[in-house]
Amino acid sequence: MSTDQGKPRGVLHQRLEHGEFQHARRAPSPALASLVEHYWHVAWDLRGLPVQRQETLPHPNVQFVIEPGLTAIYGVHTRRFIRLLEGQGSVFGIKFRAGGFFPFYRTPVSGLMDRSLDPSQIFGTHAARFEKDILAIDSIDTMSSAAERLLLSHLPPEDPNVARISMWAADIASDRSLTSVDELASRTGLTKRALQRLFNQYVGIGPKWMINRYRLHEAVAQLQAGIPIAWTELALELGYFDQAHFIRDFRKMIGRSPAEYARDQGKSTEES
């Protein structure tokens, strides 16, 4: 469980302009690996420094977030998440796998889209004790161990659909050739309607949304890496009809064009 999970995707500003910022992740134990993607912890120290803006792209995951005054279980957030950081603080989170929260919730997860849930509705009185314990700890490994104890004490019965959806989500995230719901339906042997029902129930968002968001994650990762990009080729590779549609979607989600974002990252690129 102590293995670091590497560099996170979807964080639009990988480094703060000033001050200190830390982001660490840990993998769950084998007993929870089918339900939990990872545990994460961010901390910042901007004392005496200007407020800084952090932005994160949405992921198709439910998250249990522990932060003073903001502790909650958050459903899939469909828009860019913007947070103004100031002073000193930290946040700990449990990122459930796509579909991994449903066995705890037993209600269509689509009802949590862009909403939050009081953790006591899932974990009862243990939720408040867990929050208190996490806020008293400063080590991600100790926090992750506390999260393990909480989840294992409420471990739900095995649900075979969770493994199926988790596998499909991993394919969508890693296979750039998977760019449409039609292709996903062909691979899974299910109809588009059946896929939509399963994703709404277990993930909380449709498969088309997930495919589109992961393709935008891929574009952002390439821009952050400074990879030379031919926009028309990239747009077609990511499943867009043309460059204009890709740039429109990118601007809508990221808040600026690909070239503007690349310049913000100190990279050189052209929209051509």
In 154-255, which ranges are continuous DSSP H helix? 160-174, 181-188, 192-202, 207-225, 231-237, 243-254
CATH number for region 160-264: 1.10.10.60
Amino acid at 133: D
The domain ranges of the chain are 20-153, 160-264
Whole-number Å distance between alpha carbons of 30 and 44: 30
pLDDT in tens, the chain (272 residues): 545 555 667 777 766 677 888 889 999 999 999 999 999 999 999 999 999 888 888 899 999 999 999 999 999 999 988 889 899 999 999 999 999 999 999 999 999 999 999 999 999 999 999 999 999 998 999 999 999 999 999 999 999 999 999 999 999 998 988 989 999 999 999 999 999 999 999 999 999 999 999 888 888 888 888 877 788 888 888 888 888 999 999 999 888 998 888 888 775 544 43
Going by the DSSP 8-state scheme, the letter that residue 189 receives in this structure is T
0.85 surpassed by pTM: yes
